[in-house]
Structure 1
Amino acid sequence: MGIIDFVKKWTLPCSMVFGAIVYTLFTTISPLVPIGEAVGPYVVKILPVVIFLMLYVTFCKIQIDDLRPRAWHFWLQGIRVALSAIMVLAISLVDNPETKIILEGVFICVICPTAAAAPVITEKLGGSIASLTIYTIIANCVTSIIIPLFFPMVEKSADISFLFAFMMILKRVITVLLLPLCLALLTRRFLPKFAEKIKKQKNLAFYMWAFNLSIMMGLTLHNIVAATVSGLSLILLLVLPLGVTLLLFSIGKGVGRCYGESVSAGQALGQKNTMVGIWLTVTFLNPTAAVAPCAYVIWQNMVNAWQLWYKDKYGKLKW
C-alpha cells in the first residue's frame, strides 16, 4: 500500500497526527515560534468558514422531503438531558476540587450538542444526512435551554442567563447550519446542474473536515499542555472521555437501531461539537476541565476512523 492509499484509508488519524506535528513544531522550535504565534489565530478563524463550505457541499445532497423530525430524535434528547442531570447530581455530592474538575469534564462531554460536521461522517457511513441535520437543530435548541439550567448548579459563579445561552446557540445554528442548508436548497432549486456537479464530488466535504480536524488537533494539544492538575487527574481527564465516547455512540446506535437508523443516531449522540464545549468550559466552568472535551476530539475521531475502516472492509456496520 502506497502512502497516498494509506492516507486515503486512514484520513482522520493522519489529519490528527499532522495537526499534532505542526503544532509541536511551531511551539517548540525557536525560529518557528514567532510564526506560529502570528499565524495561529488566523488559522483558527478559518474553521467556521471551512465548516460552512463543507456543510453546503453536504446539504446539496439532501432531499427536502426528508427534513422531518423522527421519534428517535426526541428519545436521544431525553437521554442526553437525563445523563447531564446525573452528572450535575454527582458533581454536587463531591467536595474534592480535582475530583470535581474531572466530573465537570465528563459533564461537558455529555451536554455538548451534536457537531455540525456530523452529517459529513454520517454520509460516509451510509446514514441519513437529512435526519441528522434536523436532529442537530433540535439538539442545539435543547442545549440553549439546559445550559442556563444546569451550569449554575455545577459552578455557583456561572452567571449565564437563558437569553444569553439561547442567543449564543441561535447564532451558531444560523451561521453554521441554517445558512448553508438554505443556500444548498436554493442551489438545488434554481441551479440544479451546479448542484449535480457538487453531488458528484463524493469526498470533497470529508477532506474539508479532515483539514479542520488537523487545526482542531493543534487546539486540543494546546489545552492539554496548558492544564494545571496532578498527573493522575490529567490521565483521568484524558481517559474517561473514551468511556463517554463509547457509551454515547453505543446508546445512540441502540436507540437508532429500533427505528432503522443506527448510523445516524450513533453519530447524533456520539459526535460532539467539542469547540462549543471547550468554550463553555473555559468561560463558565473550571478551565482545566476543558482537557476532557479536548480528549473527546481524539476519541470520537478514532471511533469514526474505525467505523469508516470497518464499512470499507465489510460493506456495512454491525455496531
Structure 2
Amino acid sequence: MMIMLFYNFLNVPLHARMVTRLHLWIALAKVGMPVLFYFLILPFSPQGAITAFVTGMAPTAAVAPVIAGLFRRKIEFVTVSVLLTSPLIALTLPLILPLLLPVEEKIAVFDILGPVTVTVFIPLLIAWLIRNGASFLIPWINRTHQVPFVLFLFNIFTAGADASNYLQYRSHESLQTLVLIAAVTIICGTLYFLVGQYLIGGKAYGIESGLALGRKNTMFGLWVALTYVNPIAALGPVFYIVYSNLYNTVQLYIYRRRERRGAVSKDGFCPRQQ
C-alpha cells in the first residue's frame, strides 16, 4: 500500500489550494451517512445497523488514489480526501461510537490515527524529499509506472483470499446472518459510490468523489469491529473488501471500453451527448 501511494505522491505535489468545497461535502458524508444508515437499519436489525456503521465509518482508503490513476482521473483530488478524512475519523469516531453502542474499552484517538498516519505520511514524506532533493530520480522511477497497477491486482487477490479465509475458518455465523450482513454491505456500499459520483462529484469529479466516499479503509473498520464492537460486525468490512474491489473492477472495465469508443464524458462513466 505504501509503495502504491509513493508512486502517486511522487508525481502529485500537494498544497492547501487543492482542498475544495467538494472535499468538505465528502467529509460530511463520511461521518453523516454511516450514522444515517445506522438509524435507518436499527428498527429492522440491530446487528445490521452496527455492522453498517462500523463498515461505513472509515476514512478514504489509501488505495483510492491508485485506482483514480487507473481511471486517468485527478489523483490529487482523492489524495486530499485520504489526508483529510483520516484525522477526521480519528477525532470523531471516539465521540460518536460510545453514543450509539455500549463500548466498554476507552477509544484512544492516537490508536486510530497512528497506523493511518504511518501508512499515508511516510510515502508522502519520501516523495517530497525526492521531488525537492533528488528530482533526477523521478524519470527513472516513472519507467516502472506499471508497478502500482500490478500491486493493485495483488491487493485484490490478497483481499479476496483473506476474506475467503475469514469466512471459512474464523466465522461461525449462520447463513442467515451472513446473507443479512452481505446485503447491508452491498446496499450501503453502492449508495456510497453513487452518492459520491453523482450527487457530490457530478460531471467534473464524478469518479474521484465516488472513490473518495466509496473506497473505505476496510482494515481500519475490521480493527474497530474486533477491538470495540463484536466479531459479527467484523464481517461487514470483510464483505466490503470483496464488494468494493468487484465494483471498481467492473467500473474500470466499462470505463476503459467506453474510452476506446471515445464515449467517456467528464463524469468518467456516462457516454457523451453527441
2:30 maps to what in 1?
80
Q: Match of 2:8?
A: 58
- Out of 249, 254, 267, the position equivalent to 1:310 is 254
For the residue of structure 1 that corresponds to 2:18, the secondary structure is coil
**Quick one: structure 1 residues 274 and 131, their matched pair in 2 at CA, closer, same or farther if it must change by over 3 Å?**
same
Shift of 1:87: 3.6
Structure 1: 5+ residue runs without aligned partners?
1-50
CA-to-aligned-CA distance 1:103-131 (integer Å, 9 cap, x gap): 21111221111111111001111221112
Residue 179 of structure 1: which of 115, 118, 122 is its match? 122
**Cα distance, 1:304–1:219 mapped onto 2, change above 3 Å:** same
Distance 1:281 1:207 in 2: 30
Tell me which amino acid in the other structure corresponds to 2:146: N
Give the residue type in structure 1 aligned to 2:216: K
Per the alignment, residue 268 of structure 1 pairs with: 212
- Normalized per residue, which structure has more helix? 1
Contact 1:56 1:184 in 2 (8 A): yes
1:297 matched to 2:236: no
Does residue 1:199 correspond to 2:142, yes or no? yes
Shift, 1:311, TM fit:
2.0
Query: For the residues of structure 2 that align with 1:128 and 1:170, how far apart are their CA atoms?
Result: 25
User: Could you say which residue in structure 2 is the equivalent of 1:248?
Assistant: 192
Instruction: State how far apart, in whole Å, the 1-side matches of 2:84 and 2:39 are.
Output: 25
Does the alignment pair 1:71 with 2:21?
yes
| SS in structure 2 at match of 1:103 | helix
Alignment deviations for residues 89-112 of structure 1 (CA, whole Å, 9 cap, x no partner): 357657xxxx32222111122111
Unaligned runs of 5+ in 2: none
- SS in structure 2 of the partner of residue 64 of structure 1: coil
Letter paired with 2:131: R
By how many angstroms is 1:133 displaced?
1.2
User: How many equivalent residue pairs?
Assistant: 262
Q: CA deviation at 1:151?
A: 1.7
- Under a length normalisation based on structure 2, what TM-score does the superposition of the two structures give? 0.87
Q: Does 1:190 align with 2:166?
A: no
How far apart, CA to CA, are the structure 2 residues paired with 1:141 and 1:112?
Answer: 11
Q: Secondary structure in 1 aligned to 2:234?
A: helix
Query: Are residues 301 and 184 of structure 1, via their aligned partners in 2, closer, same or farther at CA, if it must alter by over 3 Å?
Result: same
Q: Could you state the TM-score of these two structures normalised by the residue count of structure 1? A: 0.76
Contact 2:207-2:269 at 8 Å conserved across structures: no
CA, structure 1 residues 295+133, in 2 after alignment: closer, same or farther (shift >3 Å)?
same
Task: Write the deviation string for residues 164-197 of structure 1: whole angstroms up to 9, x where unpaired.
Answer: 1x21233123311111012112212222231122
- Give the letter aligned to residue 205 of structure 2: E
2:35 partner amino acid: A
Partner of 1:101: 47
1:220 to 163, 166, 176: 163
State how far apart, in whole Å, the 2-side matches of 1:251 and 1:139 are. Answer: 17
Contact kept? 1:114, 1:139, Cα under 8 Å:
yes
Deviation at 1:66, TM superposition (A): 7.7
Q: State whether residues 114 and 269 of structure 1, in contact with CA within 8 Å, keep that contact through their aligned partners in structure 2.
A: yes
RMSD: 2.1
Decide whether aligned partners of structure 1 residues 261 and 158 sit closer, same or farther in structure 2, where only a CA change above 3 A counts: farther
Specify the alignment match of 2:76 in structure 1.
130
* Aligned pairs (5 A) from 1:23-42: none
